Amino acid sequence: MTVKIPKIDEIPVEEQTSWVLTLLECINALAEENQALRDEIARLKGEKPRPKIKPSSLEGNHKKPESSEKRPGSAKRHKTQSLEIHEIVKVAPENLPSGSTFKGYKDFVVQGLEMKPHNIRYRLERWETPDGRTLTGKLPAELNGSHFDVYLKRFILYQYYHGHVTQPILLEQLHDIGFDISSGQLSNIIIENHDAFHDEKDAILDIGLSVSTHINVDDTTARHEGQNGYCTHIGNEFFATFHSTDSKSRINFLKLLQAGRTDYIINASALSYMISQGLPQDSLTLVTSKLLTVCEDDIAWDEFVKLLGIEKPLHIKIITEGALVGSLIEHGFNTDMVIVSDDAGQFNVLIHALCWIHAERLINKLIGLTDKQKEAVKSIRSDIWDLYASLKNFKEQPDDQKKADIEAQFDKIFTQKTCFASLNNALKRIYRNKPELLRVLDFPHIPLHNNTSENDIRDYVKRRKVSGSTRNDLGRRCRDTFTSLKKTCRKLNVSFWDYLEDRLSGLNEIPYLSDLIINKALNLSV
């Protein structure tokens, strides 16, 4: 008997206890181990194990690279000509005969790295004025009273947050180089006194949402203090932000979209959402009687819900989501914003679009048992490829006729019957998502996939695999902040190395990332 293992999204929020989540992880691990044992048994019997499913190649380039007479990299490079030269050493020939004529120089540039401590003893002069006051020299402002300078702090932050170097190894590196620094001092540099960085990260999300016409979203597990948790990515080609929370739900996602605001508002948008979610009339009447109610935070909202007298968890969930939607729209959230996801339920809110890559995987992972079933899967995948190409063409040159043709093409593919029952079920499932998969027909500017989030969050996963869980709230916040800043810098063509020095030194010669996001959005819209 085959038992379907539920996804976390399919479990009601009120039932997502730590025990349930832990058991679900164990079940998934046992399922993977069971499949591995089945494959090994099949191998010993001389049978073929279950094949590994290759990733979708909808976005792949199937054209062979154009031939070239010159091999790659054969052209001469003169990158050293633009290098800053820090030292010039003149080298004369050995055994130079007398009467030789000087003919200039032949340059040979060597790039090197000085990795050694540079310790400065500041001797602060103390003077006594004629009136008895004591005046003492002041340390440079960028030191901020620290015994470690800007450049050492930059190196530490870059290694830890960009290079994924763990704290123990980083401490060993510093000791080997010759620095006198304790594990506590290193930890303080990594997570303490970064309010300015946190503020800039928060501004990235706020501004990014205000100038964007779409966002890509995804999440991944992120354990914290030994407990299961999650990290949600929100971003696009302009920015990337990461937000760690103890749980994931639509309520949690809507709170993240608030970008720091905490209020709940009952307005027309809130009521419209509640109606769309099937809130019963009696509960809807109670909420309608409180139209234009504003609750400033979670505590005020909990009191408001108690006063309403609504007790069913599902109904409370709907009105809470509705009030958060009301708050978003009241504060100017772009109602034409398209949210692109991989079909996780918590992201299905407002205008939602689905990733074609994830949809195609439902077909790609099917394993036909007969030649006819295999041929059916191959044929359907070929049809999907053709449809995907039509969608890409539509994005470049939208028109009503193409739109009608694509809709007809979609219906033809996903309503057909094949000889493979599993394939038919997959086609039905995809067809139910027709509005979200064809959202691009109404919004040609949005991507057809969620690769932006997939690529951005991959770096976060690397960090998780290296360091495991975070141990305190400040450490978790710093991980989110610096990952967001690093990824956003990359999207804006800003060196993260230079950015760290600029901010730590207080020069602020590099514009705020939120301002760069605005400029990039304006340039692309022109």
User: What's the rounded Cα separation, in Å, for the pair 495 and 322?
Assistant: 41
Looking at mean pLDDT, say which of 56-70, 78-92, 331-345 comes out highest.
331-345
Query: Contact 236/212 with Cβ under 8 angstroms?
Result: yes
Confidence of residue 324 (pLDDT cuts 50, 70, 90): very high
Asked if pLDDT for residue 259 goes beyond 50, the answer is: yes
pLDDT at 64: 47
Structure confidence by residue, pLDDT tens digits, 415-465: 999 999 999 999 999 999 999 999 999 999 999 999 999 999 988 888 888
Structure confidence by residue, pLDDT tens digits, 140-188: 988 988 999 999 999 999 999 999 999 999 999 999 999 999 999 999 9
pLDDT at 519: 94
Domains of the chain, by residue range, sit at: 8-42, 356-441
Confidence of residue 4 (pLDDT cuts 50, 70, 90): low
pLDDT at 50: 59
Confidence of residue 21 (pLDDT cuts 50, 70, 90): low
Give the mean model confidence (pLDDT) for residues 348-371.
93
Whole-number mean pLDDT of the chain?
Answer: 89
pLDDT at 53: 53
- Cα end-to-end distance, the chain, whole Å: 59
For the chain, the maximum distance between any two Cα atoms, rounded to a whole number of angstroms, is 109
Give the mean model confidence (pLDDT) for residues 45-67.
55
pLDDT at 470: 86
Residue 295 host element (H or E): strand 294-295
pLDDT at 205: 96
Q: Long-range contacts of range 429-432, CB-CB < 8 Å, 24 or more positions apart?
A: 429/362, 430/359, 430/362, 430/363
Asked if pLDDT for residue 83 goes beyond 90, the answer is: no
Confidence of residue 471 (pLDDT cuts 50, 70, 90): confident
Asked if pLDDT for residue 485 goes beyond 90, the answer is: yes
Give the mean model confidence (pLDDT) for residues 339-366.
93
Query: Contact 284/274 with Cβ under 8 angstroms?
Result: yes
Handedness of CA 341, 342, 344, 350 (dihedral sign): positive
Residue recorded with tokens 């027309």: 268
Question: Which of the pair, 435 or 44, is modelled with greater confidence?
Answer: 435
Confidence of residue 38 (pLDDT cuts 50, 70, 90): confident
User: What's the rounded Cα separation, in Å, for the pair 379 and 419?
Assistant: 12
Token pair recorded at residue 368? 């036909």
SS3 of 238-282: the string is CCEEEEEECCCCHHHHHHHHCCCCCCEECCHHHHHHHHHCCCCHH
Q: How many other C-beta atoms are found inside a 10 Å radius of the C-beta of residue 119?
A: 10
Give percent above pLDDT 90 in the chain: 73
509, burial (CB in 10 Å: exposed 0-12, middle 13-18, buried 19+) = exposed
Query: 71-75, 96-100, 122-126 — which is least confidently predicted?
Result: 71-75
Give the mean model confidence (pLDDT) for residues 294-304.
96
Structure confidence by residue, pLDDT tens digits, 189-243: 999 999 999 999 999 999 999 999 999 999 999 988 888 899 999 999 999 999 9
Query: Contact 388/430 with Cβ under 8 angstroms?
Result: no
pLDDT at 20: 67
| Secondary structure percentages of the chain, helix, strand, coil, to 5 | 50, 10, 40
pTM for this one? 0.81
Give the mean model confidence (pLDDT) for residues 384-413.
95
Give the mean model confidence (pLDDT) for residues 71-81.
57
- Which whole-number Å values give the CA distances from 79 to 83, 105, 109, 111, in the listed order? 7, 19, 10, 11
pLDDT at 3: 59
